[in-house]
Amino acid sequence: MKRRSFLTTATLASAGLTTLLITGCTSSSKKDQEVAPANVIDTNFELEEETIASLREKLASGKYTSEQLVQLYLKRIETVDKNGAQLNSVIEINPDAIAIAVAMDKESKAGKSRGPLHGIPVLIKDNIDTADKMQTTAGSLAMVGNIASKDAFVVRKLREAGAIIIGKTNLSEWANFRSTQSSSGWSSRGGQTKNPYILDHNPCGSSAGSGAAVSANLCVVAIGTETDGSIVCPASVNGIVGIKPTVGLVSRSGIIPISKTQDTAGPMARTVTDAAILLGAIAAIDQDDAITLESNGKNHKDYTTFLDVNALEGKRIGVEKKPQGNNKYINALLDNAISVLKQQGAIIVEIDYIDKINAFGEAEFEVLQYEFKDGLNSYLAQANAKVKNLKEVIDFNNKNEDKAMPYFKQETLVSSNAKKGLEDKKYLEALNQSFEGSKRILDAVFKANNLDAITGITMGPACSIDVIYGDRWGGYSLTSPAAISGFPHITVPCGQAYDLPVGLSFFGTPYKEGELIGLGYAYEQASKKRFKPALKASFL
């Protein structure tokens, strides 16, 4: 889940959800920024800005082996993430990564190829089970020692595709469903992840580590998870591409849950092409996750077939008529993006839907609390963790408050634990209002306007890190409509404000990932707005 700033206010019941969600903070326009010491920025990193295709070409030519690629990325992590900039995006290294790479090299020499991910190093979020020597902790000290007995389904698909999981990424603890005053990207086990553009700024959450690691070239692609914004927010503020699939396209089995209604895993990459490749590898029906049965006949093994520079031609793209905010720099980015869309043949249609979705904020939070308690208790009952239910997590944190809760507390865990079961009338009423209600509204908007997608600024630029008082975000966000309804969503870099990245969103109706990938790719190729992070020490 993303930074739960919509939970930080006592006026939740009277405020719209999107108004309170992660968006982007306004700040001084001062451009003179202190640059980090030279040893922080590894300008000679030979794999900088590589793609899956370019790495595959180098593997095929013999310039590199997979073992060498893994070694180079592990060195990069040590240099930039752990020392140097202390980006702190990787929470654990896979001790078997080199051995797996050697095995993939042997298969390649024998003429076997598992596909485009064969021999490619990837990172995954630390709420995804791996049946190896790595832990799965959701960043929580209460979960330390949890070694999964079985790979998550997405991990199994990655291994089948030949991907090499080189480590796990840090995240907002419990996917940012612990406190109303949390700092995105902070966990009691992993500490604070930083934004690779300006290190004293926030990487957004909860897939903070995955977003920062991809952006800083610690890997070529990574897996994140989202309940509401946790893929698209960190993708946006870290200057990369993120895809939040339709709920049901990608399995959630073996992933520490928040919400069975809204949870999904998804790809994070520096290019739309790489995100499409990764999505094709993990999208599949899983008998252990019944919702994936709905994707039968709607998923694709290869989403790169949708990559088309002319995909925007004739497409009807909705834009909320109400301004997302009043920051002239961010608004200028949206205006520029819309101009690009028009130049590529898109038809822009003004629509009115944001305030209607905002009204479901309180109901969504109610649903998430009920489903978090139910889902986590089920997960922990079968896990190899020392805590066996949510109540024991809360008790552990209370007993170890100085280490587990040095900055902010666990009021969201406590309020979730107080909920009844999923048969409770209050839960069912909230579910009908938030999930079903949002779908009805969006379906009507898409149908009435004959839309192919809706677009807008994904998030404003990152705010400063503040572990004491929590995140302070401004007024730009387009994470919730797709999240609350289960619809697919892609974000693509669209420029920068205050030397920080800003993303552009496209979201559509269920199982239209391919079409959205096409739109995102056409915009990406026409705009070319990805820029490498400089690892500046501070904004001022």
Query: Cα dihedral sign for 421, 292, 221, 70?
Result: positive
Residue with structure tokens 């791996």?
130
Query: Are the beta carbons of 524 and 241 closer than 8 angstroms?
Result: yes
| Bridge partners, 90 (sequence order) | 169
- The residue length of the chain stands at 540
**Residue 267, phi then psi, degrees to nearest 5:** -85, 150
Point out the catalytic residue in the list 230, 416, 480, 505.
230
How many whole angstroms separate alpha carbon 69 and alpha carbon 157? 21
Query: Are the beta carbons of 459 and 503 closer than 8 angstroms?
Result: yes
How many whole angstroms separate alpha carbon 93 and alpha carbon 126? 11
**Contacts with 203 (C-beta within 8 Å, 6 or more apart), sequence order:** 89, 184, 185, 193, 194, 195, 196, 209, 211, 212, 234, 237, 238, 462
The verdict on whether 206 is a catalytic residue reads yes
Point out the catalytic residue in the list 125, 194, 315, 373.
125
Q: How far is residue 409 CA from its own chain's centroid?
A: 24
- Beta-sheet strands, E only, within 255-346: 264-269, 316-320
Three-state SS at 244: strand
The verdict on whether 14 is a catalytic residue reads no
CA distances, 340 to each of 328, 344, 400, 477, 526 (Å) = 18, 6, 53, 21, 7
What are the structure tokens assigned to 365, written together? 């939070």
The verdict on whether 125 is a catalytic residue reads yes
Termini Cα distance of the chain: 30
CA distances, 185 to each of 128, 244, 251, 348, 458 (Å) = 16, 19, 24, 35, 18
DSSP letter string, 195-238: -SSBTTB---SSSHHHHHHHHTTSSSEEEEEESSSTTHHHHHHT
Lateral strand order in the sheet of 221-226: 90-93, 164-169, 121-125, 221-226, 264-269, 241-244, 489-497, 500-507, 453-457, 316-320, 347-351
> Using only C-alpha atoms, what is the Rg of the chain?
21
Point out the catalytic residue in the list 5, 108, 183, 206.
206
Q: How many Cβ atoms sit within 10 Å of the Cβ of residue 57?
A: 13
Catalytically active residues, by annotation: 125, 206, 230
